[in-house]
């Protein structure tokens, strides 16, 4: 009897462990889909704007569309979806404590030779008494990004537009392949 009980208890514990691992895997997949939606929509709109009217116009697209797209995807999905960075352009994208710690960790791992496109952190944590799934994923700097986040590659008219919209801009001087920032997602589980 005692033995049966222990076996049942052990089975229950193992199942609970397996179920939460499965839940987490499902949440990671969902988060990846949202990142693709957010990143994909942004990139498509950015590239279309650059091609149509050049980088100065594209800055305005980023300025107004990036927060709108993030807000729409968050409202539709029930998740909180955003972007952040260690060198911010828009102070409104400042990281919360969890995201800031993940960014610090990614920077150390980048310094140690890991590639930004492999840097990701996903876990279930406790926040304000609630269970919350958090995921942070690094965003590498690509060639097109240098038009507005690079050093000398940034044209004077782009520089002027950035100075007007973002007087506190710190998101300049990035090199191709370097971590530019992160996608940060969260969802309350209870
Ligand atoms: C046409 C200019 C332009 C290009 C090209 C561009 N960005 Fe940006 N980026 C901006 C602007 C403007 C903002 C501020 C958006 C806002 O106000 O939320 C920004 C903000 C960001 C942020 C949010 C964090 C912060 O600093 O505020 C990240 C991350 C980012 N860009 C990554 C990239 C990446 C990666 C690429 C290339 C795939 C890229 N950007 C290409 C103009 C650009």
The pLDDT tens digits of the residues spanning 94-144 come to: 999 999 999 999 999 999 999 999 999 999 999 999 999 999 999 999 999
Q: Percentage of the chain surpassing pLDDT 90? A: 84
Average pLDDT over residues 164-190: 97
Mutate to test the pocket of ligand 1, among 100, 149, 163 (most ligand atoms within 8 A of CB): 149
Taking CA atoms, 52 is separated from 61, 148, 181, 184, in Å, by 12, 16, 26, 30
Query: Domain segments of the chain: what residues?
Result: 2-188
Residue 85 has pLDDT above 90, yes or no: yes
Contacts for 164 with CB less than 8 Å, ≥ 6 apart: none
Contacts for 83 with CB less than 8 Å, ≥ 6 apart: 66, 70, 93, 139, 181, 182, 183, 184
Element (H, E) at 7: helix 2-53
Angstrom distance (rounded) from CA 169 to CA 190: 37
Residue 64 has pLDDT above 70, yes or no: yes
Q: How confident is the model at residue 159 (pLDDT cuts 50, 70, 90)?
A: very high
Q: Is the pTM of this model over 0.85?
A: yes
Average pLDDT over residues 136-160: 95
Q: Is the CB of 145 under 6 A from ligand 1?
A: yes
More confident residue, 2 or 140: 140
Angstrom distance (rounded) from CA 58 to CA 76: 25
Q: How confident is the model at residue 61 (pLDDT cuts 50, 70, 90)?
A: confident
Average pLDDT over residues 167-180: 97
Mutate to test the pocket of ligand 1, among 180, 182, 184, 185 (most ligand atoms within 8 A of CB): 180
- The residue contributing the CA closest to ligand 1 atom 35 is 141
Question: Token match 């990142």: residue?
Answer: 35
- Please give the pLDDT value at position 98: 98
Q: Is the CB of 49 under 6 A from ligand 1?
A: no
Q: How confident is the model at residue 10 (pLDDT cuts 50, 70, 90)?
A: low
Taking CA atoms, 20 is separated from 27, 80, 157, in Å, by 10, 21, 52
């Amino acid at each position: 009897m005692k033995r049966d009980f222990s076996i049942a208890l052990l089975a229950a514990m193992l199942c609970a462990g397996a179920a939460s691992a499965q839940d987490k895997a499902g949440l990671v997949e969902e988060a990846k889909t949202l990142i693709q939606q957010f990143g994909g929509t942004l990139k498509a709109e950015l590239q279309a704007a650059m091609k149509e009217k050049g980088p100065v116009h594209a800055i305005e697209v980023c300025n107004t569309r990036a927060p709108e797209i993030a807000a729409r995807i968050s409202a539709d999905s029930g998740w909180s979806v955003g972007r952040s960075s260690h060198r911010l352009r828009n102070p409104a994208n400042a990281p919360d404590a969890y995201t800031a710690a993940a960014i610090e960790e990614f920077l150390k791992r980048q310094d140690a030779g890991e590639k930004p496109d492999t840097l990701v952190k996903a876990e279930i944590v406790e926040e304000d008494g609630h269970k919350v799934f958090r995921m942070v994923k690094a965003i590498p700097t690509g060639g097109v990004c240098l038009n507005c986040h690079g050093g000398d590659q940034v044209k004077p008219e782009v520089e002027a537009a950035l100075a007007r919209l973002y007087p506190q801009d710190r998101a300049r001087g990035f090199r191709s392949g370097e971590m530019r920032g992160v996608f940060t997602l969260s969802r309350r589980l209870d």
